[in-house]
Structure 1
């Protein structure tokens, strides 16, 4: 029995990835991961009946303590929110891989199929971009869960959550808000570079006598370019917020 040429083995692998069975399996896995993202953290950790109220009361307790150490109630909430978003980071990482493979499979099928495959491929590419954005947001919330809790606090009486300027509690919160936004810059910045490079390389690369490959690369380039543009806005906003953390803190608490 002779050896199968390497290029034929690679082609067989590509055909399997774009088979109906694999596409169906990836689609089912993607749907299951979306459901796990929505329901998983509460199923594993339990849900707080009045999380917003608990956060507001814990912040008031922190302000009234007069110290810089988080009170036990607030620390428990921070630990809970860390675990909540850490679970979502794991799930979203699998979502990113799954939707990325699904987009690749649909684009490969498009080379042999109809225009409907291109629509499905664009949709899967968009889902890959959304999964990337959600992953970045959850990484940020996992690294600085205290700040990720702040928007949950009721806007009613939020001024009382801050306390006087320069108080220990406000100093801690301002410092955490600054770190929160620098984390976003650190995570979204490299993603911006990668998305921009993918967009530029796919747009410039030309394939002779293969219109379908050309369409696939141009469409992926556009999706990557839109993702890079969004990330650029996020990085710019986060950098500004990190430089002005006191204003960012007021914004997170709904105080304008």
Structure 2
């Protein structure tokens, strides 16, 4: 497949990542929201109703918002994964062309290298988007909580959030609704801990593969060796960063209530 076609696919998928989730998530009757403000307002009203019910079972309005957010993140996760795959293929082609382009002019080689760097960076960003949206798909309720904290600081919504803070700070037996929040908050971070661990393992394996290719490449192929070595170093360092993300999320899983309180107090 020509590189221009791959680039076109990448641009299309990038646009789809931004534009497609909301309408596709609203495919169910009554399951959509006109914009982010409408979603946030509906969430705050639904959460107040859910909290005041004293039950751990979502009210119909709360279930509607959570189900929408699940579909929203699923669409984003699939789109980001497709974008990542296309960018990987495109990046490999660009770097191969650069490595094998000894007879190309300086300008052409510089263009290939620049394009390769840009595609690589965007591919890494799209991988982060895959991770975040898979996490949101696993725990859509917990991923909605930032909208509550960022909402208006007055009225029923503010009173509900203050009750949540008081219960968390009290340290006593949580209400059924709060227990659901604590459990889902723990799953939210467990999901990222597992996702990050898988990505770290994959990057480590990729680094080993690159260094094996580097060792098996003739010394006369200097440009190829430089490309392999550069990616080998990056692929060896990234698992350290991703591993730290996994470890940080694991510590929250062990004791989620204090972290949830810090979140509602604006400590995150």
Q: Which residue matches 1:87?
A: 75
Report the CA distance between 1:203 and its aligned residue. 4.0
What root-mean-square deviation, in Å, do the aligned CA atoms of Structure 1 and Structure 2 show?
A: 1.9
Which residues in structure 2 correspond to 1:59-208 (within 5 Å)?
59-110=47-98, 111-112=100-101, 113=104, 114-155=109-150, 156=153, 157=158, 158-161=161-164, 164-165=167-168, 166-203=174-211, 205-206=214-215, 207-208=217-218
After superposition, the C-alpha distances for 1:122-181 in whole angstroms (9 at most, x for unaligned) are: 222222221111111111100110001111114433323456241111111000111111
Asked if structure 2 preserves the Cα contact closer than 8 Å seen for 1:198 and 1:224, the reply is yes
Tell whether 2:225 aligns with 1:225.
no
Residues 157-212 of structure 1: CA deviation (Å, up to 9, x unaligned): 33234562411111110001111111112222111011123224424633221111
Q: Tell me the secondary structure at the aligned position of residue 57 of structure 2.
A: coil
The change in CA–CA distance for 1:92 and 1:179 in structure 2 (over 3 A counts) is same
For residue 50 of structure 1, what is the aligned residue in structure 2? Answer: 38
Alignment match, 1:32: 12
Question: Any idea what SS the aligned residue of 1:164 has?
Answer: helix
> How far 1:40 moved relative to its partner?
0.6
Mapped to 2, the partners of 1:253 and 1:29 lie a distance apart of 40
Figure out how many residues of one structure are paired with residues of the other and give that number.
236
- The Cα of 1:109 is off from its aligned counterpart by 0.9
Q: Aligned pair in 2 of structure 1 residues 162, 74: CA closer, same or farther (>3 Å)?
A: farther
TM-score by length of 2: 0.81
Shift of the 254–134 alpha-carbon distance from structure 1 to 2, 3 Å rule, reads: farther
What's the counterpart of residue 247 of structure 1?
A: 258
Gaps of 5+ in 1: 1-16
Asked if structure 1 preserves the Cα contact closer than 8 Å seen for 2:165 and 2:264, the reply is no
* Structure 1 Cα separation of the partners of residues 12 and 263 of structure 2: 32
Query: Deviation of residue 255 (structure 1)?
Result: 3.3
> Does the 8 A contact of 2:182 with 2:256 survive in 1?
yes
Q: Which moved more, 1:22-31 or 1:123-132?
A: 123-132
Question: Where in structure 1 do 4 or more consecutive aligned residues deviate above 6 Å?
Answer: none
How far apart are the structure 2 equivalents of 1:43 and 1:226? 38
Task: Write the distance in 2 (CA, Å) between the matches of 1:53 and 1:254.
Answer: 20
TM-score w.r.t. the length of structure 1 is 0.84
The C-alpha deviation readout for 1:199-227, integer Å capped at 9, x for no partner, is 24424633221111112112222332343
Cα contact 1:53–1:154 (8 A) shared by 2: no
